[in-house]
Chains A and B, each alone.
Chain A
Amino acid sequence: MTMTELAKANPAELEVVSAVREGDPARRRRRSDRPLWMLGPGGLLIGFVIVVPLALGVYLSFLDLDQYTLRDWLSAPFVGLANYIEAVTQTNLLGAIWVSVSYSILATALTVPLGVAAAIATQNAFRGRTAMRSLFLIPYIIPAFVVGTVFRTVLAPEGVLNSAFGMQGTLWLNGPNSYWALIMVQVWSAWPFVYLLTLAGLQSVDHEVHEASALDGAGWWRKLTHVIFPYLRGPLALAVVIATLHHLNNFTLPFVLFGIPAPSPVEVLPILTYVTGFQSLRFGLSAAMAIFSLILVLIPLLVYLRAVRLDSGTDKGEQR
């Protein structure tokens, strides 16, 4: 049927035509021929290893659960919000939340200038740049438990840091300095992440922009602050949110660096939760603390979810 014939056709015929077009294979595939069974294996597994434990974790936080009732947790006494109240009033929960938040934010803030400086310094080609870029990434890729083990040795009272600077006997792994030790080590292993995201941001600066600022005669500092930095705002904001999330959830580094129970200046929330559960065997109380850590993580997570691109471009109406 040609277009002219179509135009002349009466409404009844048009309906037939559109019905035929509905039967067009490309269209039909959209509707009913979606292989959503492919979601099955991954979906089921995620349900089993994440969703079910998550729900169970909430339930356990309402139970009076210790080493005796753990075996038979289904019949453990239900105590409502008692664990939450005890966590806030009788334990160091609020202190641990404060340590977690302040350490995460401070460590993240210190990684930003390092990462940005590294990215800007390796943006222009020079001899040995490839080696330098690889070197910058190594601290990030070294396993956290290795970083912790090494710095535990470096920061020992008679360790190499103190002997190099003539500070023998200074305590880094105990007492008030431990807080700064944790931040220092965290910064050392985390700054390359900011570096990576800044590099990605720098790549979005067009050549014309460089030409324009050269024509305007902008000095390097003016060019950096007025021309380049605006391009980095987005990637940096994202790097800050993700890095903060990682630091809030970091269990390995404080655990390996200080052992358990951790000295109180570095008793972060993951450590307190772990110790309450698997050392003091107050499992219900520990489950309640874990819920607090979920709430804590939710704040940067919601920011992240707003920033991240979720749609695949095939269904624009669905964005956000």
Chain B
Amino acid sequence: MSFTTRRNSARPTAPVEVTRLLPTWILAIVLIVLGLLAAVPLVYIVLASLNSDLGVARGEFWPSDFTFDNYIDVWSSVGLASGIANSLIVAGSVAVLSSAIALGTAYALVRFPFRGRLTALRSLVGFQSIPGTLLLLPIFVLFASIGSVIGVQIIGTLWGLIITYLTFALPFSTWIMVTYLRGLPISLEEAARIDGASHFGVLWRIVLPLSWPGLIVSTFFAFLLGWNDVMFASVMTTPDTRTVAVALQIFGAAQEGGGIPLYGQMMASSLICAVPVVLLFLIFQRYLVSGLTSGSVK
């Protein structure tokens, strides 16, 4: 056939890797362009955090003089430490709470058919897409009213914010656990039931130990959602309970004597907020990537 002869004459001796998708030169171009696209802003954050406010304001990429002062000053100037502590408490509690609740809910949803189950699953997907602006006002009004009825301040407290964050964390975690538990074989659970274990016993002793990969995905991303939120936190916190995402916005307004924003410290605190999340992600990357794609594809 003409095809074969042409192929043989074009590449007479080269060992052809059949799965190969791109010629080497295109591969190199794509990797360099995309690598730079991703890496240059990251490198800039690091460099700018080691630069003076003036240096950043002048638009230097490479600092004219390196300084670590930003990393020292951020702890005193805008209350970054208390912001981080608040964010850790809130996002951490939300992540653990929503994942723990999600496990039970998802187990029942996956294993036990009941009337309205499909509606429940559909709602789980739908609830994740509800615009936050739609829930912000009603939750604010609801918490203010409940607070004044029972005589306890809810708005402005950390636990109030934790409950608020369940609005997006719970449907997300439950959906992640639904997609994960679907992949577990049912036979172990059935064997345990025949041996006389209660449903809760099965959940606790059989399902939970097998669910760690799913729970890691759910906990990490629920944490990330809480850590990321600016909108709810900007309305539902006081200066004492401010999360770090809101505290960082204060930097934009804070200025030194000369009227230049505290750019260097802004970059340093940005880095401080991003590094733990990125490190955690890289450590658990294997679970997180597959969890994220299966959560949205399947």
Q: With A57-B138, A150-B41 as given contacts, are A43 and B105 in contact (CB-CB < 8 Å)?
A: yes
Is the pair A291, B118 in contact by a Cβ cutoff of 8 Å?
Answer: no
On whether A294 and B131 interact (CB within 8 A), knowing A158-B59, A162-B59, the answer reads yes
User: Of B74-82, B210-218, B272-280, which stretch is located at the interface?
Assistant: B272-280
Q: B19 an interface residue at 8 Å Cβ cutoff?
A: yes
Quick check: which of A7-15, A77-85, A114-122, A175-183 contacts chain B, the rest being far away?
A: A114-122
Q: Which residue of B16, B127, B138, B267 is within 8 Å of A60 (Cβ)? A: B138
A53 x B6 contact (CB < 8 A): no
For chain B residues 129-185, which have a beta carbon within 8 Å of chain A?
Answer: 129-139, 141-142, 144-145, 163-164, 166-167, 170-171, 174, 178, 182
B69 to chain A, nearest CB (A): 17
Q: Are A38 and B104 in contact (CB under 8 A)?
A: yes
Chain A 132-153 interface 0/1 with B at a Cβ cutoff of 8 Å (1 = within): 1011111101111110011111
Which of A45, A188, A294 has its CB near the most chain B CB atoms (within 10 A)? Answer: A45
Nearest opposing residue in chain A for B193, CB measure: A29
Q: How far is the CA of A216 from the CA of B289 in the complex (A)?
A: 34
Given contacts A50-B171, A249-B131, A297-B131, contact A36 B112 (CB under 8 A): yes
Per-position 1/0 for B21-39, Cβ under 8 A of A? 1110011001100110111
Q: A49-B164, A158-B57 are in contact. Are A211 and B18 (CB under 8 A)?
A: yes
Those of B87-140 within 8 Å (CB) of chain A: 101-102, 104-105, 107-114, 117-118, 120-122, 125-127, 129-139
From A132, A137, A199, contact of B285 by CB (8 A): A137
With both beta carbons as reference points, the residue of chain B lying nearest to A29 in the complex is identified as: B193
Q: Which of B220-235 contact A (CB under 8 A)?
A: 224, 227-231, 234-235
B-chain residues with CB within 8 Å of residue A143 when the two chains form the complex: 224, 227-228, 245, 273-274, 277
Residue of B nearest to A122 (CB): B31
Contact partner of B230 (CB less than 8 A), chosen from A164, A197, A251, A304, is A251
Which of B142, B171, B182, B278 is within 8 Å of A52, CB to CB? B142
Least Cβ distance of B91 to chain A in Å?
A: 10
Q: A124's closest neighbor in chain B, by CB?
A: B20
Tell which of A87-95, A101-109, A309-317 binds the partner. Answer: A309-317
Contacts of A171 in B (CB 8 A): none
Complex Cα–Cα for A216 and B6 (A) = 11
Tell which of B118, B137, B293 touches A277, judged by Cβ atoms closer than 8 Å: B137
Do residues A53 and B133 form an inter-chain contact, with CB atoms below 8 A? no
| Complex Cα spacing A118 to B59, Å | 30
A163 to B127, CA, bound (A): 44
Q: How far is the CA of A200 from the CA of B296 in the complex (A)?
A: 11
A313, closest chain B residue (CB): B182
B251–A41 contact, CB under 8 A? no
Measured CB to CB, the closest approach of chain B to A216, in angstroms, equals 6
Complex Cα gap A14–B21 (Å): 65
B297 at interface, CB cutoff 8 A: yes
Contact B101 A154 (CB under 8 A): no
Interface string of A40-55 (1 = CB under 8 A from B): 0111011001101110
List the A side residues contacting B121 at CB < 8 Å: 310
- Bound complex: CA A313 to CA B128 (Å): 23
A293 CB-CB contact with B under 8 Å = yes
Q: Are A36 and B114 in contact (CB under 8 A)?
A: yes
A21 at the interface (CB under 8 A from B): no
Contact A146 B274 (CB under 8 A): yes
Output the least CB separation between B15 and chain A (Å): 12
Which residue of the partner chain, among A73, A152, A211, contacts B145 with CB atoms under 8 Å? A73
Residue of B nearest to A139 (CB): B38
Minimum CB–CB distance from B226 to chain A (whole Å) comes to 10
List which A46-80 residues lie within 8 A (CB) of chain B: 46, 49-50, 52-54, 56-57, 60, 70-71, 73
Known: A53-B142, A242-B296, A255-B231. A290 touches B20 (CB 8 A): no
Contact B34 A114 (CB under 8 A): yes
Chain A contacts of B136 at CB under 8 A? 274, 277
Query: What separation, in Å, do the CA atoms of A74 and B129 have in the docked complex?
Result: 28
B50 within 8 A of A: no
Are A318 and B138 touching (Cβ within 8 A)?
Answer: no
Q: Within residues 1 to 44 of chain A, which ones have a CB less than 8 A from any CB in chain B? A: 25-26, 29, 33-36, 38-39, 41-43
Q: Is the CB of B58 within 8 A of A158?
A: yes
**Are the C-beta atoms of A293 and B131 separated by less than 8 Å?**
yes
Q: Is the Cβ of A216 less than 8 Å from the Cβ of B3? A: yes
CB atoms of A57 and B122 under 8 A apart? no
Q: Is A156 an interface residue (CB 8 A)?
A: yes
Smallest CB separation, A90 vs chain B (Å):
19
> Beyond A117-B30, A269-B133, A310-B125: 9 further Cβ-contacts under 8 Å?
A38-B104, A50-B130, A56-B138, A135-B39, A163-B59, A305-B126, A308-B125, A312-B109, A318-B117
Q: Which 4 A-B pairs have the closest CB atoms?
A: A163-B59, A42-B105, A35-B199, A53-B138
Name 21 A/B residue pairs within 8 A (Cβ), A-sorted.
Answer: A41-B105, A50-B127, A56-B141, A71-B144, A138-B38, A138-B42, A139-B41, A141-B224, A143-B227, A150-B41, A150-B267, A168-B59, A224-B21, A238-B297, A249-B129, A255-B231, A270-B133, A270-B231, A304-B129, A308-B125, A309-B298
